[in-house]
């Protein structure tokens, strides 16, 4: 079935490249190696009116030999603070990438679904329990943390979370890396004391 | 030939000079000679071996050239006068070795027909093998057919007769090719009796025309949703008696199915052919999508192979006997599919079946 997989991915690749809608929504797709259509790189622009606005999120796409009978394997490369996406591995919890996959879906529609997922999280079916808990208990803190992560990792314009940057910088003076400090602080509700404890515990 | 030994007296470093004729013969044996030089105990032994080698190589060379010459001159003598009779304007192609000849016949409607004659050389006997692009077999009297003297001219004569016999068939096929969107075969040869063409969006028919009786009802098979197909079958059965053999096949089909068949003059091919919903391609292993979702709002087309694979992957699919039941990947409506592609095969509607066979018999007698 490998020949079906490759010929279909080529068509879908062309579809995304020429689609006006995809361009408007800020979705694009690239080959990682020339003429290798099994490993692709997707890019999603964070949707407006969300903490991800203006960020560029890279998605690792792996096309299995059994495509389109089985879904493509996707995960976020860019780190992201979202209840349905692991803040550590980038693994995505989305039904269409698992049991609800249908051959009618394409790379374009899946990437667009991911974009919709960014604007409409499903905290009741979480991938990252810590993030989901924060989302349910303190939506404002969640929004700000997600915004901060977009600024730090997805090249979103830094405007709203200067204090978080400052906290990360301060904590990182202890010698821990920026990434570890940011994760620890996010997980402990940006309390410096608890953030430090989280760092030392891990 | 001169052999120069080096001062060391080592045979393996000897130099051999010879004239160009000998050099030509030995050109393929350079390595062998080198080996023999190295192995030979003395010059005399080498010369003995060299003599054997020379004899052998000469035999091989003689054998190949004379073989070609024989076949060539034989075919030449027998065939050229025949080609003169047939007329050189009807010779389309002859290969370099004179082992295959292609003749062309232009019929009254300036259609080109080809007959290819290949000579199979088996020892002394040269058997001609004929291939034509006719929809019917070429019946040649057996005794005459074996001999080379007869072969070309007579076979061309029978070929022309067969073309005359098939004129009506060619007319029917030309009419279909010109006035419908033919889906298959992609590039039909004159010999091809089958055509699959569009009847409308997502519905097509494949017919197999009888070359002896092209205006009778052909064997047919409809492709499309169950609903559309059963509708057409019903109309066909109801109106069967309206089939008029004096009218053309297309006219009859349109009248009986009560539709107008889309033609290249009034429509675009893209209106009727959509790619497979699973592999997104038109052709897979040279076949077009032939399975349609029966839900009237979906009607998505699939290749049998793709759909079968999809239903097999679906965890919710069930198999009972040779049928898989599952969901359409687009509309999620129930869909079933035969496991071994066993839904192919024609609907037989051979009202003139006996007549057809009678005709074949007559041709063989002739």
B residues 290-329 near A, CB within 8 Å? 300, 306, 309-310, 312-313, 315, 329
Instruction: Identify whether A93 is a catalytic site residue.
Output: yes
From the candidate CATH numbers 3.30.300.30, 3.30.70.3270, 1.10.10.10, 3.10.110.10, the one assigned to the domain spanning A3-119? 3.10.110.10
Q: Among B148, B165, B182, where does a domain finish?
A: B165
pLDDT of residue B361: 31
Q: What is the average pLDDT across A157-183?
A: 84
Domain carrying residue B8:
1-64
Q: What is the average pLDDT across A191-198?
A: 86
* 3-class state of residue A169 by DSSP: helix
Q: What is the average pLDDT across A159-165?
A: 79
Residues B172 and B195 in one domain: yes
pLDDT of residue B69: 53
A residues 85-114 near B, CB within 8 Å? 99, 102-104, 106
Domain range annotation of chain A: 3-119, 129-201
Closest CA to A145 of A50, A51, A45, A47: A51
Computed over every residue of chain A, the mean pLDDT equals 88
In this model, does residue A14 exceed pLDDT 70? yes
Would the ipTM clear 0.85, i.e. be above it? no
Question: Concatenated DSSP letters for A67-98?
Answer: TTTSPPEEEESS---BTTB-TTT-BB--GGGT
**Torsions phi, psi of B104, nearest 5?**
-120, 145
Cis peptide before A68 (omega within 30 of 0): yes
For residue A141, the distance in angstroms to the closest alpha carbon of chain B comes to 40
Instruction: From residue B131, give the alpha-carbon distance in Å to each of A111, B101, B155, B158.
Output: 56, 11, 11, 13
Measured between CA atoms, the residue of chain B closest to residue A15 is B280
Q: What is the average pLDDT across A22-50?
A: 88
In this model, does residue A110 exceed pLDDT 90? yes
By the 8 A CB rule, do B75 and B126 touch?
Answer: yes
CB atoms within 10 A of CB B38: 12
CATH code of residue B87? 3.10.110.10
**Mean per-residue pLDDT pooled into runs of 10, chain B (366 residues):** 76 78 76 80 82 77 54 65 84 79 88 85 70 84 58 83 89 90 84 88 87 88 85 88 87 88 81 82 80 84 87 84 85 78 38 33 33
Spatial distance between the Cα atoms of A80 and A83, rounded to a whole number of angstroms: 9
Spatial distance between the Cα atoms of B288 and B243, rounded to a whole number of angstroms: 30
Model confidence band, residue A78 (pLDDT cutoffs 50, 70, 90): very high
Residues B55 and B76 in one domain: no
Question: Among B278, B312, B332, whose Cβ lies nearest the Cβ of A68?
Answer: B278
Q: Is the dihedral of CA B73, B79, B84, B87 positive or negative?
A: negative
pLDDT of residue B55: 79
State the alpha helices, DSSP H only, in B105-202: 142-146, 148-165, 167-179
Q: Among B64, B88, B106, where does a domain finish?
A: B64
* 3-class state of residue B186 by DSSP: coil
Residues B213 and B350 in one domain: yes
Task: Tell the residue number behind the tokens 């019917």, with chain if given.
Answer: B136
Q: Looking at chain A, which runs of residues are DSSP E strands?
A: 27-31, 39-45, 56-62, 73-76
């Amino acid at each position: 079935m490998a020949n079906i997989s490759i010929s279909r991915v080529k068509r879908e690749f062309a579809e995304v490249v020429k689609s006006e809608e995809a361009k408007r929504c800020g979705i694009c797709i690239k080959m990682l190696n020339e003429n290798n259509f099994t490993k692709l790189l997707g890019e999603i622009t964070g949707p407006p009116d969300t903490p991800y606005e203006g960020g560029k999120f890279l998605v690792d796409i792996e096309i299995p030999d059994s495509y389109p009978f089985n879904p493509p394997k996707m995960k976020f490369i860019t780190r992201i603070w979202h209840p349905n996406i692991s803040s550590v591995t980038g693994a995505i919890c989305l039904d269409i990438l698992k049991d609800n996959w249908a051959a009618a879906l394409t790379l374009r529609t899946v990437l667009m679904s991911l974009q919709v997922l960014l604007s409409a999280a499903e905290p009741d079916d979480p991938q990252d329990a810590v993030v989901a808990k924060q989302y349910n208990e303190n939506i404002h803190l969640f929004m700000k943390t997600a915004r901060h992560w977009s600024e730090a990792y997805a090249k979103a314009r830094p405007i709203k979370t200067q204090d978080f940057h400052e906290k990360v910088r301060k904590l990182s003076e202890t010698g821990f890396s920026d990434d570890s400090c940011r994760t620890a602080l996010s997980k402990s509700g940006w309390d410096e004391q608890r953030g430090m404890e989280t760092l030392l515990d891990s | 030939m001169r052999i120069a030994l080096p001062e060391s007296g080592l045979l393996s470093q000897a130099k051999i000079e010879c004239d160009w004729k000998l050099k030509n013969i030995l050109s393929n044996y350079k390595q062998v000679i080198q080996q023999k030089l190295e192995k030979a105990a003395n010059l005399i032994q080498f010369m003995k071996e060299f003599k054997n080698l020379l004899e052998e190589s000469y035999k091989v060379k003689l054998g190949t050239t004379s073989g070609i010459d024989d076949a060539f001159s034989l075919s030449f003598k027998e065939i050229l006068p025949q080609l003169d009779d047939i007329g050189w304007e009807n010779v389309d192609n002859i290969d370099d070795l004179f082992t295959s000849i292609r003749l062309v016949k232009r019929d009254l409607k300036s259609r080109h027909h080809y007959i290819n004659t290949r000579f199979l050389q088996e020892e002394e006997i040269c058997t001609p093998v004929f291939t034509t692009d006719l929809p019917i077999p070429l019946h040649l009297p057996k005794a005459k057919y074996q001999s080379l003297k007869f072969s070309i001219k007579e076979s061309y004569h029978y070929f022309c007769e067969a073309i005359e016999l098939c004129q009506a068939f060619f007319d029917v096929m030309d009419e279909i090719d010109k006035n419908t969107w033919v889906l298959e075969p992609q590039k039909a040869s004159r010999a091809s009796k089958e055509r699959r063409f569009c009847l409308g969006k997502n519905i097509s028919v494949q017919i197999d025309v009888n070359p002896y009786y092209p205006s009778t009802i052909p064997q047919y098979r409809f492709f499309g949703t169950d609903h559309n197909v059963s509708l057409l079958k019903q109309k066909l059965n109801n109106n069967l008696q309206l089939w008029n053999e004096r009218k053309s096949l297309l006219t009859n089909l349109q009248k009986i199915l009560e539709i107008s068949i889309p033609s290249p003059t009034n429509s675009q091919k893209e209106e009727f052919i959509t790619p497979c919903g699973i592999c997104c391609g038109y052709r897979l292993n040279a076949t077009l999508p032939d399975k349609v979702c029966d839900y009237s709002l979906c009607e998505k087309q699939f290749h049998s192979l793709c759909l079968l694979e999809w239903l097999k992957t679906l965890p919710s699919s069930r198999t009972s006997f040779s049928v898989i039941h599952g969901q359409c990947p687009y509309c999620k409506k129930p869909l079933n599919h035969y496991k071994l592609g066993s839904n192919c095969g024609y609907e037989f509607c051979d009202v003139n079946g006996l007549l057809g066979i009678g005709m074949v018999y007559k041709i063989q007698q002739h």
